[in-house]
Amino acid sequence: MVLSSLKGPGEIVTTQLSVLPRNTTLENYAQAATTVPFVRFFINSVVVTVIGSSIKCALAILTAYALVFVRFPFKRAIFLAILVALMVPPQVSVLPNYIFIAGLDGLNTYWGIILPGLGTAFGTFLLRQHFLSLPPSILEASEIDGAGHLRRLFQIVVPISGPSIATVALVTIVGEWNDYIWPLIVTDKPEMMTLPVGLTLLANSDSTAQAWGVLMAGAVIVIVPILLIFAALQRFIVDGLTQGSVTG
């Protein structure tokens, strides 16, 4: 994809294939940026990803803490419901969510894109399993000292759960950035489209063979930011997913 984005049209659609571009050019990137408003798409994706992933991670932390350290009725039933949510394909909720958001005049708005996906069963499940592995004596000592739930959460649980929280954050960020179906459904104005949807708009703007280089350039623009985030946080993945799996 990267190599094709640096080739001219005659080098992509040809029977004499070559891996490396003969005449490297950045014209595809310039054309992609001028054909559709990629800067606006990028801003929309950043806004949706930052706000959506931040709220998702906060809700996952609070919910997982409550399921482990707070006593309340039907706690096991609620956890089972979260497990069931992991098994339900997200496409099932598309129509009800669209009817709900459209009824609230949320089409072509940031909150209309963000709101339906705020619940994260995966993050809650992963953090709950990690919180169960924490030494109870630490929290018991803080409770004896008079620390409330919020203080125990933010001063004890969160600081020692960095890798697991980073894993949830990374998975959430990647999911928000790459989300395609829901933003495609609730946006029809270019100024509110995110990058994956904008890439479709770019593909539809020119269906000729010469558009392949421009399309590859657009795909690179979409993928590079999330690859950089993944490279920065990937070392937390193994630590976060394996915390609590080994007992002393």
- Domain CATH code at residue 75: 1.10.3720.10
Which range has the worst mean pLDDT, 83-97, 113-127, 208-222? 208-222
Question: How far is the C-alpha of 67 from the C-alpha of 55, rounded, in Å?
Answer: 18
Q: Does the residue 62 lie in any domain?
A: yes
Mean per-residue pLDDT for 93-108? 93
Q: Are 182 and 112 in contact (CB under 8 A)?
A: no
Question: How far is the C-alpha of 139 from the C-alpha of 135, rounded, in Å?
Answer: 8
- Whether the pLDDT of residue 77 is over 70: the answer is yes
If you search the block for the tokens 């930011």, which residue do you land on? 225
Q: Are 240 and 168 in contact (CB under 8 A)?
A: yes
Q: Does the residue 17 lie in any domain?
A: no
pTM attached to this predicted model: 0.84
Tokens of 98: 């669209």
Q: Which residue has the higher pLDDT, 130 or 141?
A: 130
In sequence order, what DSSP letters do the residues of 153-185 get, joined into one string?
A: IIIIITGGGHHHHHHHHHHHHHHHHH--HHHHH
Q: Does the residue 66 lie in any domain?
A: yes
- Whether the pLDDT of residue 248 is over 60: the answer is no
Mean per-residue pLDDT for 159-165? 87
Mean pLDDT score of the chain, rounded to an integer? Answer: 86
CA angle 126, 131, 134 (to 5 degrees): 140
Tokens of 184: 């495609």
Number of domains in the chain: 1
Q: Does the residue 68 lie in any domain?
A: yes
- For the stretch 32-75, pLDDT in tens is 888 889 889 999 999 999 999 999 999 999 999 999 988 889 98
Residues spanned by the domain of 139: 2-10+23-242
pLDDT at 194: 94
Q: Does the residue 248 lie in any domain?
A: no
Q: Does the residue 226 lie in any domain?
A: yes
Q: Does the residue 137 lie in any domain?
A: yes
Q: Does the residue 154 lie in any domain?
A: yes
